[in-house]
Chain A
Amino acid sequence: MSRIKDSPEFQRGAPVTIIVDGAPLPAFVGETIAGALLASGRRAWQHTRHGQPRGMFCGIGVCFDCLVTVNGASKVRACLTPVAEGMIVQTQETTP
């Protein structure tokens, strides 16, 4: 739950801020939403119909555990979706 401290030659993309449930979250271009959430220490961001917390499971877009709403579009896979400046992410309660 952290960004790896690589050698100084290594550089992340430009710093950006995404808005997760109304709160700013710093991230770097090139990261995915799931990456940024995990790096910030957050393990779960989806809740199932039965109220169970879920986060990243497969990491490659096949399990659909990591769904979030991005700029109004629902059911977006956080593990595949790169962050962008000002992106509005709502962690998702699955409906109904």
Chain B
Amino acid sequence: MTEQVEIAVVGAGPGGLCAALAAAQAGAQVALIDNNRHPGGQYYRQTAREFRGAPSSHQREGAALLQQAIAAGVRIIAETNVWGAFDDKVLALNDGAATTYLQARAIILATGAYDRPVAFPGWTLPGVMTAGAVQTLIKEQRILAGKRFLLAGTGPLQLVLAAELARAGAQVVAVLEGSRVFPRVLQHAGALWNQWERLSEGLSSWLTLARHRIPYRVGWGIVAAEGAAQVEQATIARLDGNWRPIRGSEEKIACDTIALGYGFVPFNTLSRLLGARQEWRPELGGEVPARDAQMQTSAPGVYAVGDCAGIGGAALARVEGQIAGSAAAAQVGHGTADAIPARASALARERRFQRMYAALFTPGVGLYELSQDDTILCRCEEITQAEVRHALALGADTTNEVKLITRGGMGDCQGRMCAHLIAHFIARETGRSVAQVGMLPPRPPIFPIPITALGVTR
């Protein structure tokens, strides 16, 4: 059965919540679908509802936004995956038990992002995980994923995580920042204007680091993880301007957990499935849908906001969500898009910050050169760099061709982990650009769904 709704919003993070709220406030009938146990997305990640305790300010803000959305009439469809998108704006939903279809007159995608995978020798050892994984486990379950953490990556979120770990009683052996931030941040000082909340969060994290004497090593990065059955130590090195390890600078550092925080990859599968034209924008995290000023993609009536359309953080996601929510509501006959100019200055401010962030924290090419021939690039199918190299020797020169020959990208994660890694390797070996080498085409369901749940419709 296919239900009708005026506006369907996918993803209940900051972007999706604000979009749904704006559209509902304009008078539209809105459904907001999210696959998490608790709506809120990454930034507002809620503590398990069965726990009792004082929520953080982010969590309070997220919970309040959710309550506002519900009060404005938004129908929340939680713990439900959108596994496919079809003609005439039909979304296929699955809650693990059955499939339902939702046909919308406008769709707002706010599916967020996931941590950027980085392949280096030892990166498949237990104990190597993404910074987001460590962060999520703390926020949602108040659990530490390890004892002695090494944080390797880039950007201020690493500081926030290090401070949180320290406050929770974990040992943080070092925070490695790949970018040589300090001289360059001054060139972008203007973008910090009116970002007091961020600055104060950064400063307080910074002070926590200092208090716990956690080394913050700028211009350093991970090179390898070592250990028998799990991580026991890491090899780290000083990086050059392209993020290539400088030979001779290597150091060993003992740790049991390596948290990788090298930014995020936009989750653009649904916009691709809906036919939205994509662009390769490394500074925005990778492949993202092209959009107009109202956040509409090239597919009419399909909007994309927040990280899934280009990494920009929660504040930008909120503004984009508000704009898309009003625009989509106006499109289906509710209110006018008048609200949009009012958001212009907030949008401009966040875009400035986004540009600064990208300029400072977009990893250099060296990050993709850490893998060796025996390093696994595709975790699911356990395909090594040597196997990809062999496929290139056979004539493959796109990510998809490599997938067909090696199985790299055919595994359970649908290529989300390896596509970027394989693409960068092909680009480097063939001298083509990553844009030419391409990403993998979407192949629904975008998450595996039980055969019984697909065969049964509600």
Interface residues of A (CB under 8 A from B): 1-7, 9-14, 28-32, 34-35, 38-39, 43-44, 48-50, 52-65, 67, 73, 75, 79-80, 82
Contacts and interface: CB of A to CB of B under 8 A. Distances in A.
B229 A53 contact: yes
A75 B230 CA distance: 22
Interface in B122-173: 124, 126-130, 132-138, 140-147, 168-169
B168 A4 contact: yes
A27 to B, nearest CB: 10
Interface of B: 35, 37, 42, 47-54, 114-115, 117, 124, 126-130, 132-138, 140-147, 168-169, 229-230, 256, 267, 379-380, 382, 411-413, 416-417, 447-448, 450
A67 B412 contact: yes
Closest 8 CB pairs of A and B: A59-B133, A30-B48, A13-B50, A30-B50, A10-B53, A64-B412, A44-B126, A43-B126
Nearest to B265: A62
Contacts of A58: 114-115, 129-130, 132-133, 417
A80 B53 CA distance: 21
A9 B147 CA distance: 24
A2 B147 contact: yes
29 contacts: A1-B145, A1-B147, A3-B142, A3-B144, A4-B142, A4-B143, A10-B52, A30-B49, A30-B141, A31-B48, A32-B140, A34-B137, A35-B141, A38-B137, A43-B146, A56-B137, A57-B379, A58-B115, A59-B135, A59-B137, A60-B42, A62-B413, A62-B416, A63-B413, A63-B416, A64-B380, A64-B413, A73-B450, A75-B448
Contact of B143 (A2, A48, A54, A67): A2
A70 to B, nearest CB: 11
A4 B135 CA distance: 13
Contacts of A62: 114, 267, 413, 416-417
A63 B168 CA distance: 26
Contacts of A75: 412, 448
A8 B224 CA distance: 40
A38 B147 CA distance: 11
Most B C-beta atoms less than 10 A away, residue of A13, A30, A39, A59: A59
Contacts of A67: 412
Given A10-B52, A11-B51, A50-B382, A60 B142 contact: no
Contacts of A50: 382
Given A2-B144, A38-B143, A62-B417, 20 more contacts: A2-B143, A2-B147, A4-B138, A4-B142, A6-B53, A9-B52, A9-B53, A10-B53, A10-B54, A28-B51, A30-B141, A31-B141, A38-B144, A43-B126, A48-B382, A57-B128, A58-B132, A63-B417, A64-B411, A67-B412
Given A13-B50, A75-B412, A59 B132 contact: yes
A10 B230 contact: no
Contacts of B140: 32, 35
Contacts of A80: 37
A74 to B, nearest CB: 10
Contact of A60 (B51, B126, B132, B382): B132
A31 B143 contact: yes
